[in-house]
Copies of this chain bind each other. A is one copy, B any other.
Amino acid sequence: MARAARFTLAELATALGARLEGDPARVVTGVATLDRATPAEISFVTHARYHDAARVSRAGAFLASDDAGELPGPALRCSAPQRALVDLLLLFHPPATTVPGIDATAVVARGAHVDPTASIGPLTVVEDGAMIGAGARLHALVYVGPGAEIGAESVLYPHVTVRHGVRLGRRVIVHPGAVLGADGFSYVPDAGRHRKVPQVGGVVIEDDVEIGANAAVDRAMLGETVIRRGTKIDNLVQIAHNCDVGEDCVIAAQVGIAGSSRIGRGVVLAGQVGVADHLTVGEGVTAAAQTGIHTDIAAGQTIWGTPARPAFQTKRIAVAANHLPELARRVRALERAVEALTSGRGSAPGGGDGA
């Protein structure tokens, strides 16, 4: 996806607020990783783990932290190179501009309101009463149900489903195949069978949320399932009905959160974590991959394992578990030794008896 962009290092230094070490007139035409960058491209040294690769890189220039040491070419130095990298990438790869208008093959209900600056792609369906905000972009083959609202500048990729009445804020990004507002999973026993509980609530996705490919956020039974401002949700995540996920959370791929649980602000759940229903996970909690959360978790904790424990404790248990079979043998040896001592035959434990 190369673009025909070219910048001098002086231009880049100005745009990124970086300090230039080297020839200001030098031109670079792209960004690449250290191992792949050519002399025509700029690379980046955003972690100490990249220092060795930087030394041998053929890149024509480097974006680097002030303390990244000497580099084999001109450097743009700054205090926050990760943030500067975002700006650098946007310079070389500016976001596609949205072409306003409704594709001739889209099926937009007469009672839908589509802002004239919004873009509706081929074969996309917008049902009656739906509202599509200014500058919003619906790619091809998207489905927006009756009465749903898509906020300004939001982007819905192909095959997204937004069911009736679901409300998305501004600048929300929904990746392909994600499903917002499917029925929550709820039944009551009735004459030996499962009777479906109607799911008549909604879903609210606040501003600046991002939702990954093939993820699912179910609608509430009553009231709303809420994903709050700035939270980022990765692919294949399941958020069940009536959950409330706080602001600025990071929910990695394949996490599942069961019904009515509340996730505090700034929580980080790594891949494949599970959260049981009706729980509260406190502000700022971090859970390592595959953690299984079955109880409320107090704010600020770092947890790991199933059942979830403080991470340092799970780590200690895991280390001790490595020696568990041996520990069992040592206890057997001790029992023999103590028995011998008790009966007056006295031999030390851990001897040559195969223990």
Q: Which residues of chain A have a CB within 8 Å of any CB of chain B? A: 1, 31-33, 36, 82-83, 85-86, 89-90, 92-93, 95, 103, 105, 107, 121-123, 125, 127, 139-141, 143, 145, 147, 157-159, 161, 163-165, 173, 175-177, 179, 182-183, 185, 187-188, 190, 192-198, 200-202, 208, 210, 212-214, 216, 218, 221-223, 230, 232, 234-236, 238, 240, 248, 250, 252-254, 256, 258, 270-272, 274, 276, 289-290, 292, 294, 305-307, 309, 313, 316-325, 327-328, 330-331, 334-335, 337-339, 341-343, 346-350
13 A–B contacts, CB within 8 A, in A order: A33-B223, A36-B223, A82-B188, A83-B188, A83-B195, A86-B195, A105-B107, A177-B216, A192-B248, A234-B238, A253-B258, A276-B289, A338-B349
Please name all residues of chain B whose beta carbon is closer than 8 Å to the beta carbon of A173 when the two chains form the complex: 183, 196
Tell me the nearest residue of chain B to A95, going by C-beta. B198
Asked if A236 and B252 make an inter-chain contact with CB atoms under 8 angstroms apart, the answer reads: no
A197 partner, pick from B89, B141, B163, B165, beta carbons under 8 A: B89
Tally of this chain's copies:
3
Please name all residues of chain B whose beta carbon is closer than 8 Å to the beta carbon of A313 when the two chains form the complex: 322
Asked if B159 and A177 make an inter-chain contact with CB atoms under 8 angstroms apart, the answer reads: yes
Enumerate the 9 nearest inter-chain pairs by beta-carbon distance, A residue then B residue, closest first.
Answer: A161-B176, A143-B158, A179-B213, A182-B213, A342-B348, A93-B200, A89-B198, A238-B253, A216-B235
Asked if B236 and A238 make an inter-chain contact with CB atoms under 8 angstroms apart, the answer reads: yes
Tell me the nearest residue of chain B to A339, going by C-beta. B348
| Nearest Cβ on chain B to A130's Cβ, whole angstroms | 12
In the complex the two chains form, what is the Cα distance from A236 to B177 in whole Å? Answer: 12
| Nearest Cβ on chain B to A15's Cβ, whole angstroms | 15
| Nearest Cβ on chain B to A217's Cβ, whole angstroms | 9
In the complex the two chains form, what is the Cα distance from A337 to B320 in whole Å? Answer: 21
Asked if A230 and B89 make an inter-chain contact with CB atoms under 8 angstroms apart, the answer reads: no
Please name all residues of chain B whose beta carbon is closer than 8 Å to the beta carbon of A252 when the two chains form the complex: 185, 258
In the complex the two chains form, what is the Cα distance from A159 to B309 in whole Å? Answer: 40
Most buried by B among A122, A190, A197, A343: A122
Asked if B325 and A330 make an inter-chain contact with CB atoms under 8 angstroms apart, the answer reads: no
> A143-B140, A272-B274 are known contacts. Are A254 and B256 too (CB-CB below 8 A)?
yes
Please name all residues of chain B whose beta carbon is closer than 8 Å to the beta carbon of A95 when the two chains form the complex: 198
Asked if A318 and B328 make an inter-chain contact with CB atoms under 8 angstroms apart, the answer reads: no
A196 partner, pick from B176, B193, B210, B294, beta carbons under 8 A: B210
